[in-house]
Amino acid sequence: MNPENIEIVLVHTTHSGNIGGVARAMKNMGLTRLTLVAPLEYPAPEANWRAASAADVLETARVVSTLDEAIAECQFVVGTSARDRRIPWPLQDARGCAERVAARSVQERVAILFGREDRGLLNEELQRCNLHCHIPTHEGYSSLNLAMAVQIVAYELRMLALSDKTGLAEDVDWDTPFSTSADMARFYAHLEETLVEIGFLNPEAPRQLMPRLNRLFNRVRLDEMELNILRGILTETQKASRRSK
């Protein structure tokens, strides 16, 4: 496991104190890379107070405007989710998630996303992820504080680091780097444009076609060469469609 390749990303955090609590939870478990996506209030005194001796994590935190910017260079993205989704997605508990993250982080940039305090990550944000992480709380009281959720995942990563049982990803010796999140976003836009152009996707009634295709390709994980091949196929498909018209 390489902690320097693991980034905790907080999306639209409302309470600045939670940012400080997350920084403290991260430093407790040996994580230092924090990114904040459009926090409501930051910097803020309450964040510094809650961080206690983890002020250095806050000082080096990135603050960005969009999720796209936060995960652009990441090759493996995990989204935390407390809710059942309309379309099932690859799902792990915190321990299983930590094993996947630890293995990927040896050679890849990994982001773990945590959403808003009141409603978590939106469906379209979760669709950007390769894996969903679910913390199975008791049904009598399922609400987790943001810092607590980060602490649980960070603890599982810490236990793996201490046991030195991070394992190796099945594709650790892959011959081509895996595509970044930014490259995949461009691919999905190209794919949707092509499907509309050839009449396969009706933009007025898209149903769940693009979310399901996102799930398919995020589950498979494309490397850079495979992505270039698919983009080339899409381009030639568009050319053929335009010639036929």
Per domain, the residue ranges of the chain are 3-163, 181-244
CB 25 within 8 A of CB 129: no
H/E stretch holding 210: helix 209-220
* pLDDT at res. 206: 87
Q: Which architecture does CATH list for 3-163?
A: 3-Layer(aba) Sandwich (3.40)
- DSSP secondary structure, 179-200, as one string: PPHHHHHHHHHHHHHHHHHTTS
* pLDDT at res. 85: 60
pLDDT tens figures, 169-184: 556 667 899 999 999 9
pLDDT tens figures, 121-130: 998 999 999 9
For residue 197, the cross-strand partners are none
Peptide bond preceding 39 in cis form (omega within 30 of 0):
no
Residue 237 has pLDDT above 80, yes or no: yes
- Can you read off the two tokens belonging to residue 215? 């799930």
Between the alpha carbon of residue 234 and those of residues 27, 125, 178, 196, 240, the distances in Å are 45, 25, 19, 12, 10
- Please give the mean pLDDT across all residues of the chain: 92
pLDDT tens figures, 4-53: 999 999 999 999 999 999 999 999 999 999 999 999 999 999 999 999 99
For residue 11, the cross-strand partners are 37
- Can you read off the two tokens belonging to residue 96? 């299983």
* pLDDT at res. 195: 97
Rounded to two decimals, the pTM is: 0.85
pLDDT tens figures, 54-95: 999 999 999 999 999 999 999 999 999 876 566 677 889 999
CB 12 within 8 A of CB 40: yes
Q: Percentage of the chain surpassing pLDDT 90?
A: 80
Please give the class, per CATH, of domain 181-244. mainly alpha
Q: At a CB cut-off of 8 Å and minimum separation 6, what does 99 contact?
A: 92, 160, 166, 167
For residue 62, the cross-strand partners are 35
